[in-house]
Amino acid sequence: MKMKRMRRRDIELVQKIVTHFFIITIGMGMLYPVAWLISASFKETSIIFTAPSLFPKTITFQNYIEGWKGIGIVNFGTFFKNSFLISFLCVVANLVFCSLTAFAFGRLKFPGRDFWFALMMLTLMLPSHVTTIPRYVIFRTLGWVDTILPLVVPRLFATDAFFIFLLVQFVRTIPKDLDESAVIDGCGKFSIYLRIIMPLTVPALITTMLFTFLWTWDDFFNHLLYLNSPQKYTVPMGLRLFLDASGISSWGPMFAMSVLSLVPCFVLFFSLQKYFIQGITTTGLKG
């Protein structure tokens, strides 16, 4: 009897080890390209494509120094500054205006609510191309091309339906009793939003923040449309400029700047990932 139980436990242990091994092996295979990128950024350009090893014998920071200089008068510092500014403004705008809209849809009762909500959900499926050209024409007429306005201003109008949906789902899980007792205490709608709903939707707000940052940081299409002068370029535009200008000779600096461009995403993701899983399991996301 005792023998048998021992044996079963042994089998389970072996099974667990095999599963861990399996998960780690696939995981390493998947992360290999990223690891290779990071390692290549510290290798001398001449050996990047001849040595498959992830661990270079000599580590050089030359690629980072050279890459940072960028093209001509504009260095990567400018690109990073521009990217951070745009991402920051978009994050703030999305947090305020998507949550206000979500509060209205998730909590308030008013005629026409379900109709507007259905329309909002439809915009989630709308391919962005349909509005790209008219919006370009509008922003051009306003003289906004080659400024950051076309990238930031739409966020002030809660155009990211995905986050509204995410926040509405979250708002609906908050017990109604809380609002009712607040009303008895003399709270108006705005104080209910500010004092009750906002603090309780923090996990979803953090997810909104994380994804707004990531998608704005990585956005290439809109930056390509609206930013024309290199002084206003963002990091993705800078990388692309670098790729075109430097040709095949300087892959090392190119990789070094690519790694740098990923650092803010890593930092943000790892510091917030606890909330992130919580926030998105309520719904789906793009990508």
Partner 1 sequence: MKHRSIHFFKDVFSSYTFLLPWLAGFFFLTLYPMGYSLYLSFTNFNVLQSPRWVGLRNYLIMFTGNAQFPRDERFLNSLWVTFRYVFLSVPLKLLFALAVAMLMNQKLRFIPFYRTLYYIPTLLGGSVAIAVLWRRIFSADGLVNLLLRTFFGVPNPPSWISDPRYALYTLVALAVWQFGSPMIIFLAGLKQIPQEYYEASSVDGAGKIRQFFAITLPGLSPIIFFNFVMQMISAFQVFTQAFIISGGSGGPLDSTMFYSLYLYLKGFAFAEMGYASAMAWFLLVIIAALTALAFKISGSLVTYGSGE
- Site residues for partner 1, 92-111, by CB under 8 A, read 97, 100-101, 103-105, 108-111
CB of residue 60 vs partner 1: minimum separation in angstroms? 19
Rounded CA separation 25/230 (Å) = 42
Rounded CA separation 192/40 (Å) = 53
Within positions 18 to 57, which residues make up the interface with partner 1, using CB under 8 A?
Answer: 19-20, 22-24, 26-27, 30-31, 33-34, 36-37, 49-50, 52
Rounded CA separation 248/40 (Å) = 15
Q: Does 66 bind partner 1 (CB under 8 A)?
A: no
Cα dihedral: 70, 75, 77, 80 (round 10): -60
> Which residues touch 154 (CB under 8 Å, ≥6 apart)?
135
Rounded CA separation 249/45 (Å) = 8
Largest pairwise CA distance in the chain: 84
Smaller CB separation from partner 1, 61 or 269: 269
- The H or E element spanning position 138 is helix 129-141
Within positions 173 to 192, which residues make up the interface with partner 1, using CB under 8 A?
Answer: 188-189
Per-residue contact flags (x/-) with partner 1 for residues 134 to 163, judged by CB under 8 A: xxxxx-x-------------x-xxxx----
Smaller CB separation from partner 1, 89 or 156: 156
Question: What tokens were used for 67?
Answer: 């890459």
Rounded CA separation 203/171 (Å) = 11
CB of residue 64 vs partner 1: minimum separation in angstroms? 14
- Listed residue (232, 239, 240, 236) closest to 219, CA to CA: 236
Smaller CB separation from partner 1, 61 or 116: 116
Within positions 1 to 20, which residues make up the interface with partner 1, using CB under 8 A?
Answer: 16, 19-20
Question: Strand, coil or helix: what is 258?
Answer: helix
Smaller CB separation from partner 1, 66 or 218: 218
Smaller CB separation from partner 1, 2 or 127: 127
Smaller CB separation from partner 1, 164 or 204: 164
CB of residue 177 vs partner 1: minimum separation in angstroms? 20
Smaller CB separation from partner 1, 58 or 281: 281
Which residue's structure tokens are 């399996």?
Answer: 22
Within positions 195 to 224, which residues make up the interface with partner 1, using CB under 8 A?
Answer: 214-215, 217-218, 220-221, 224
Size of the site for partner 1 (CB under 8 A): 90
Contacting partner 1 (CB under 8 A), which of 2, 3, 55, 127?
127
Question: Strand, coil or helix: what is 71?
Answer: strand
